[in-house]
Chains A and B, each alone.
Chain A
């Protein structure tokens, strides 16, 4: 796992016993994790009394470096050996590594997912209409499809309805088949 200079410097100060002592370390780690998960928008997060011991600017730098480190670890799905080897390179003592890693394990699954998921189609109902005549033309004789897609969006069902001619429906079915084929091909890699 590669870390940039500023992150390394911040983490070194975090591991340095003269800057962050034993009592402050777990509190600081806890604050960093919490700020990433839920309490992020609370600007007073770093004003807690246990963190008064560390100087203001340095505290913010450590906070930024630690949060970046945590995010990188989550992004690369890092296992214990990678994280501990990284922290050992930055001269962390083994107990601090353990504290950090236990917090990481507890919270690593609850990080927000970064994927744009459109609605999930679960069902389809259709109706075929046949236009025989209309007021302007005597013989029309065209079929029309009324399709209603039952989708599920965040647990609540929604309906998407539309009409299409036969060619448009064929086009859509062809595209769905193409999509299925390319998904199969991607899984065959």
Chain B
């Protein structure tokens, strides 16, 4: 029971009851202490019920009686199921008080449960820290400037005000491509002229902001590259440099396409949109170099140039009337008009030249074609002539030549057949070789894709486990700080140990009890069997002896002895049983004596008598007062 008492005392101390160090167990509680403890608990559990109740017993007996009744009522309202009345508080017994206090302490709201329910995430911690900081600042009182200590620097008087602006910094970084060497001039610049990072900006505060921003940008770029490489880069099976180069070219192409498509449609659009797109066409012009230099026309940009010039010619007439409405820009208008005239002329010149070029190139192509055709025809005719010449040479010796020619033809046919067979011989192994290499190639493809998927799985596992490790570390840190902030006076380990011991003890006792029960049953069965045997043997012997007793005198005597023996043994057994029952009763009565002793009945009776006398006195005094006044 000591541990229970210790826990109760601890809980009561937490609620606010003043308990001196000598109070070791519930036995030592006085009535005042009991009342104070109970009232404080009730106040915590249910403030509405508890506020009218006083924490100490008033001196007058009737008042005490009333307080006891109200306390009992309050406890019953809270839900205590046991018997309770004013006597539990004024004339207390240990067991009743213990059960009442245990019930109340269990009902106390658990403050600790709330703290452990809070989510432990990074953002939750940050928000909680922010809330705590704001609360602290709200609670601080304002002090006039003369009373301020340097501690109050942040919240009372103002520090130096800075806003968080960043500006671009020029940092002496290593080059990204380890293969390329940076230019010597860049290195010299970095060594001799580039000021150190903190000296590059005007304000000290912006230095900090810019450095932090730069660092965060680098970190996020690295993170994004890592994510992209793991998701798409590995699939494409290129080296990082190739992947990056391919991405760059793709992006460039898309930008070019977008710009071109944005520049083209304005020929159909209404007036409103023309202003923006004519600017865009200006931008395009500046990209490709100025239009005035006709010599710089390259083959590739030929198309875009011609496009540009066609639509700028059409649109340039439209913006000019819109601009002429503005009177302030009159001189600018004139300049613009003259420049536009010049431009027009240049455009027309360029047009002419381009058309001429076109013509010339077309005629050039035509002539080349004709020339090629003629050459071909020439070659064919030459061949025909050669053939006819040879036949004419061979005509005089016609017959011999015909035979020779036939032999030649046959020989060449033979050779063809020979060569074909040789080719076949070579072809077969080469085809086999080709097939084999193809199979090896496809196998290697499959293996590499399998390995890629394994790598991906491993990456995912790595990522997941690093995240879990980080989370667990954070939780560990949080729990360590929470553990430090918890109160140190309750050692849960000792309690759990004792609880486990008690549980094992109870298990052992249960086993022993079952053993004893089975033993008892066994004994009872034996006793029953023996008594049955005894009765039967007695009946048999009785009959036997009685039969002979009629004839013989000694047998009659032995029969009488037998009956007497039976009687006495029965009596013995009876007395043994009675002794057993009496012993049991003695034990029960002793237990009852113990419980009654702990009730302190005598002391309580004396107290009750005294209080009764006190009440009678008060009553008579009050009656006397009433009579007087």
Contact = CB atoms under 8 A, between A and B. Distances in A.
Interface of A: 2-7, 9, 35-38, 40-43, 45-46, 55-57, 60-61, 63-64, 67-68, 71-72, 75, 111-117, 120, 122, 152-155, 183-184, 186-189
6 contacts: A3-B215, A111-B208, A113-B154, A152-B158, A183-B138, A189-B130
Contacts of B208: 36, 71, 111-112, 114
Contacts of B142: 122
Contact of B199 (A43, A113, A186): A43
A36 B198 contact: yes
Contacts of B211: 64, 67-68, 71
B199 A114 contact: no
A189 B399 CA distance: 121
A186 B130 contact: yes
B162 A42 contact: no
Interface string B464-496: 000000000000000000000000000000000
B623 interface: no
Contact of A64 (B156, B172, B222): B172
Interface residues of B, number: 48
Contact of A7 (B144, B163, B204, B215): B215
A38 B164 CA distance: 18
A122 B130 CA distance: 25
Contacts of A56: 190-192
A9 B198 contact: no
Interface of B: 127-128, 130-132, 134-135, 138, 142, 144-145, 154, 156-164, 171-174, 187, 190-192, 194-199, 202, 204-205, 207-209, 211-212, 214-215, 218-219, 222
A57 B187 contact: yes
Given A5-B222, A57-B191, A67-B211, A40 B199 contact: yes
Contact of A72 (B173, B191, B215): B215
B410 to A, nearest CB: 81
B159 to A, nearest CB: 5
Contact of A120 (B158, B172, B215): B158
B191 A4 contact: no
B131 A188 contact: yes
Given A61-B171, A114-B163, A154-B161, 13 more contacts: A5-B222, A6-B171, A35-B196, A36-B207, A40-B199, A41-B198, A64-B196, A71-B212, A112-B205, A116-B161, A122-B142, A152-B158, A189-B128
A1 B192 CA distance: 33
A68 B214 CA distance: 9
A113 B135 CA distance: 20
A45 B162 CA distance: 24
A57 B190 contact: yes
A113 B159 contact: yes
Contact of A60 (B138, B162, B190, B204): B190
Given A5-B222, A112-B162, A112-B205, A63 B212 contact: no
Given A6-B174, A45-B199, A117 B161 contact: yes
B159 A2 contact: no
Contacts of B218: 4-7
Contacts of A67: 197-198, 207, 211
Nearest to A74: B208
Nearest to A39: B198
A64 B197 contact: yes
B198 A187 contact: no
A115 B205 CA distance: 11
A114 B164 contact: yes
B128 A4 contact: no
Nearest to B163: A116
Given A36-B207, A36-B208, A71-B211, A187 B172 contact: no
Contacts of A183: 134, 138
